Structure 1
């Protein structure tokens, strides 16, 4: 199996997660929808290309590990909507203003202010390595993805737009039995003074071997309706590196 090796090295990274109200958590490892969006951005696609996005996500196979141990960070964000010039506005999700009918104007009238709040989780100063491959036939092929990552159509980010990579994302290409084997054969990143996790934690497809545990993840997106759907289980455990 031909695999691409990607390295996520950034001051901030966010891998998505199940959002509840204004709480935006992050998974421990990247997910399918994040990788699909990253590749699509490199290819120059946009959200209107729902058919191509869905087809790419359905073929995607990946494994991920941490080379440098990240630290969690929660960013507390607010915007004061009591100002006259902000009346009737708000942060938007899927093109709609986030508010509760009847409640916003009442709070502004009683308190003279209304504050939107959000809590967003990030990983700080970590380095993750990802091996990805494509199941089946179709376009784009792995050559097209490699070329796009080498010369992306647009600037790339890792999860959220503030999460800009500190180095090129594409590491290279490797032939292996699967994405787990490709990841195990890839040398650990040079992380300087940052902390190396030991042993190396990783996630990979269940059909490529069992781990210490399994993790159920809701990391696939229905791109046409812009919602996350379904669940998939992955193996999580210690990755034994090939000397």
Structure 2
């Protein structure tokens, strides 16, 4: 087994798992269905094509820079033509759309090495445009980080912090604690369930199954940290001598 790591960063991201009608929400972290959809687009898989090969992947995400929740609203009108040929415009219901702004996530997919190497290659030269949950959310910068001989848990715990330099500099400690969301281990029971396991992206029979997820916190080195929170505070250290 090996993992392929992805950097998901952009001005806006939207990872909905239960959006309906005029409210389009977003989860606080990338969803498995959204990331598998991104990978499928990179590999040239069309919405009506089967996803069997990608369904074997184990998924996890680390919130390196959580960002902020942003709400947008949209108005629209629809033309209606009367019998006499005149056209009137009917106002459609106001829709509310939620996004995550200024966020950076580490997404990791674990699977057969040949499969994850193919994913890494496809993401570097995608067949279809990549987007972060919605078409209006393109990624900022390269997405592919490479293939690593690690399992999912080790990758989330060991790969470098991906937050911006400015964000890292704000944290003075030498380590930072980051939240993770991952597929629950097969032998364990997930603390939560989410309808986020992609089965089919076919618009005529779109289907998602339930998956168990576990949440955790990992401690990652901060390359810009100067303070060790585990050590004793010495108020005279800054005076030198």
Q: What TM-score do you get using the length of structure 2 for normalisation?
A: 0.77
Instruction: Give me the whole-angstrom Cα distance separating, in 2, the residues matched to 1:114 and 1:79.
Output: 6
* Residues 75-224 of structure 1 aligned to structure 2 (within 5 Å): 75-81=72-78, 86-87=79-80, 113-134=90-111, 141-176=115-150, 178-194=151-167, 199-207=177-185, 214-223=191-200, 224=202
RCO greater where, 1 or 2, for CA within 8 Å and sep 6 or more? Answer: 1
Can you list the C-alpha shifts for 1:163-218, whole angstroms capped at 9, x where unaligned? Answer: 11111000112111x2121121101014132477952111112218989x823111
Does structure 2 conserve the Cα–Cα contact (< 8 Å) formed by 1:14 and 1:163?
Answer: yes
Q: Are the structure 2 counterparts of residues 56 and 117 from structure 1 closer, same or farther at C-alpha, using a change threshold of 3 Å?
A: farther
Which residue of 2 is the match for residue 7 of structure 1? 7
Higher strand share: 2
1:231 to 207, 210, 226: 210
Number of aligned positions between the proteins: 210
Q: Which moved more, 1:202-211 or 1:184-193?
A: 202-211
Instruction: Give me the whole-angstrom Cα distance separating, in 2, the residues matched to 1:40 and 1:218.
Output: 19
Which residue of 2 is the match for residue 91 of structure 1? none
Residue 22 of structure 1 and its aligned partner are, at CA, apart by 1.3
Q: Which runs of 5+ in 2 are unaligned?
A: 83-87, 223-241
Instruction: Give me the whole-angstrom Cα distance separating, in 2, the residues matched to 1:173 and 1:209.
Output: 26
Residue 118 of structure 1 and its aligned partner are, at CA, apart by 1.5
Q: Which runs of 5+ in 1 are unaligned?
A: 89-104, 106-110
Instruction: Give me the whole-angstrom Cα distance separating, in 2, the residues matched to 1:228 and 1:48.
Output: 12
Does structure 1 conserve the Cα–Cα contact (< 8 Å) formed by 2:61 and 2:180?
Answer: yes
Pick the structure with greater CA Rg.
2
Instruction: Give me the whole-angstrom Cα distance separating, in 1, the residues matched to 2:143 and 2:186.
Output: 24
Q: Are the structure 2 counterparts of residues 133 and 193 from structure 1 closer, same or farther at C-alpha, using a change threshold of 3 Å?
A: same
Does structure 2 conserve the Cα–Cα contact (< 8 Å) formed by 1:131 and 1:180?
Answer: no
Residue 242 of structure 1 and its aligned partner are, at CA, apart by 7.3
* Residues 39-50 of structure 1 aligned to structure 2 (within 5 Å): 39-49=39-49
- Root-mean-square deviation (CA), in Å? 2.9
**Partner of 1:10: helix, strand, or coil?**
strand
Instruction: Give me the whole-angstrom Cα distance separating, in 2, the residues matched to 1:218 and 1:133.
Output: 20
